[in-house]
A = this chain, B = another copy of it.
Amino acid sequence: MQSVLDYLKKNRRQSIDQLCQYVRFASVSAQTEHKGDMVACAEWLVAHCREIGLETRLCKTARHPIVLARTPRIKGARKKHFVVYGHYDVQPPEPFELWHSPPFEPRIHKNALYARGASDNKGQNLAHLKAVEAYLKTGVELPCDITFVIEGEEEVGSGSLETFLKERASELRCEGVVISDTGMPAAGLPALTYALRGIASYELIVRGPSRDLHSGIFGGSVDNPAMALAQILAQLRDKDGRVTIPGFYDDVEEMSAFERAQFKRLPASEREYRKFLGVPRLFGEKGYSFLEQRSARPTLEINGLTSGYQGEGSKTIVPAWARAKITTRLVPTQDPAKIARAFRAYLKKICPPTVRLEIKSGHGAVPYIMSPRDVKAQAGVRALESAFGVAPVLIREGGSIPIVNQFKQQLRADSLLLGLALPDDNAHSPNEKFDLGCFEKGQVMSAHLWQELGKI
């Protein structure tokens, strides 16, 4: 085992170089123009996995290919099997002008690597590949069989993964899934995440006149779709952010006293948080701390607004249409399908008869929760402690990892969420970064994890 850790130390520089190569691919799954970059990125990953010594295949899907890479199986040896999940696709980099360096040109500054995808999820996932590489290159026997599943559709709802898992259910049957795609509450404070919020996404399009109209000639005699949309949106949340869709909170489970106590263990300064966000005042549902609001309570957010003229100066029109992109974040035991029905019914009720409303539903995921007392979770906790030298905290996270549910459903496997991202990593934002200390400790944690999981 010491030679595994020595290998990681010795190859520190090279691992960082490889991460730099990896983030250079503009693997934006949402944007058709990056289809070529997606393929190139997947092919780089395949070549890299083969170099490490993994049996690797690039598996076609209806959209973006999935990389499947497994440790060579030793004949006759009966080891526990774990799947390591990651994704090579990234969020759109826009708005470009807010990046201090180009999003796909890695830049190292203060021991952190800046690039889109550095933290979410290329860096975190590569840490596991590096740990397995250390075992394979040093000849130290891996206590577990490991299969990497690295997909290219996480940022657009993982649409191809379900079929992929279904078709390979027997090959992928496992004791559990290991995922590093979540966060640590603070630098130096590792965490195991036992719950995630679900998601349901929508696009609302309000249509009025058949074309943009001169607001002087027609204004006052025709409804304004941008105003109708604003009036609809304004009725979706109250002034404290509580969602006003009837029935929205029906299936929300209140946190247990144990859980609220866990939240209290976390470092949390409202003043610092406010400063970190750069907002004049904090905001959120009454009766909950900001840590609870953003992870254990549901929310409804507008992600984008589009209507009429957006260029320089003014254009005096009544726009023909207005659009809002919306996501709701859900907690146990809210069901995205049930929430979608309630949302549609409410929208239908509040939409004025002077416009037409189109509602598109996007990707959805049910919220996830597992027991923090599970033996695999405890193995994860020990591996984190070995790498970071600190007792990890048990946390809920506000993000959604829809695939956690798919693993549960298709493989009946729980997921160990061992996040390596720091709170200021700017995932989904301009100037995304990944701390190189977290990258190193993540590799060490992964090396220990296979020892711990091999023992259970």
| Interface positions of A (Cβ within 8 A of B) | 30-32, 91-92, 94-95, 98, 156, 183, 197, 199, 201, 203, 208-224, 226-227, 229-231, 233-237, 239, 241, 273, 277-285, 290-291, 293-294, 297-299, 301-319, 322-325, 327, 329, 352-356, 362-363, 397-400, 426-431
Contact = CB atoms under 8 A, between A and B. Distances in A.
B279 A219 contact: no
Given A30-B315, A223-B283, A279-B208, A399 B307 contact: no
A430 B222 contact: no
Nearest to A428: B214
B305 A322 contact: yes
A197 B222 CA distance: 17
5 contacts: A30-B312, A211-B426, A214-B427, A301-B317, A305-B310
A180 B257 CA distance: 75
B31 A219 contact: no
Given A213-B277, A306-B306, A316-B199, A31 B226 contact: no
Looking at A208, A220, A352, the one whose CB has the most chain B CB atoms below 10 A away is A220
A303 B215 contact: yes
Contacts of A301: 215, 219, 224, 227, 316-318
B30 A311 contact: yes
A277 B222 contact: yes
Contact of A234 (B213, B230, B362): B230
A316 to B, nearest CB: 5
A421 to B, nearest CB: 9
Copies in the complex: 2
A32 B313 CA distance: 10
Looking at A214, A226, A273, the one whose CB has the most chain B CB atoms below 10 A away is A214
A213 B317 CA distance: 31
A305 B304 CA distance: 10
A9 B366 CA distance: 74
A316 B302 contact: no
A210 B285 CA distance: 21
Contacts of A428: 212-215, 217, 315-317
B353 A211 contact: no
Nearest to A306: B310
Contacts of A324: 226, 230
B305 A306 contact: yes
A322 B233 CA distance: 14
Given A213-B277, A237-B227, A314-B303, A309 B325 contact: yes
Contact of A317 (B224, B233, B429): B429
Given A230-B234, A280-B353, A353-B280, A315 B293 contact: no
A304 B30 contact: no
Nearest to A310: B306
A279 B223 contact: yes
A220 B31 contact: no
A282 B183 CA distance: 52
Contacts of A313: 30-31, 156, 362
A197 B221 contact: no
Given A227-B233, A293-B220, A316 B309 contact: no
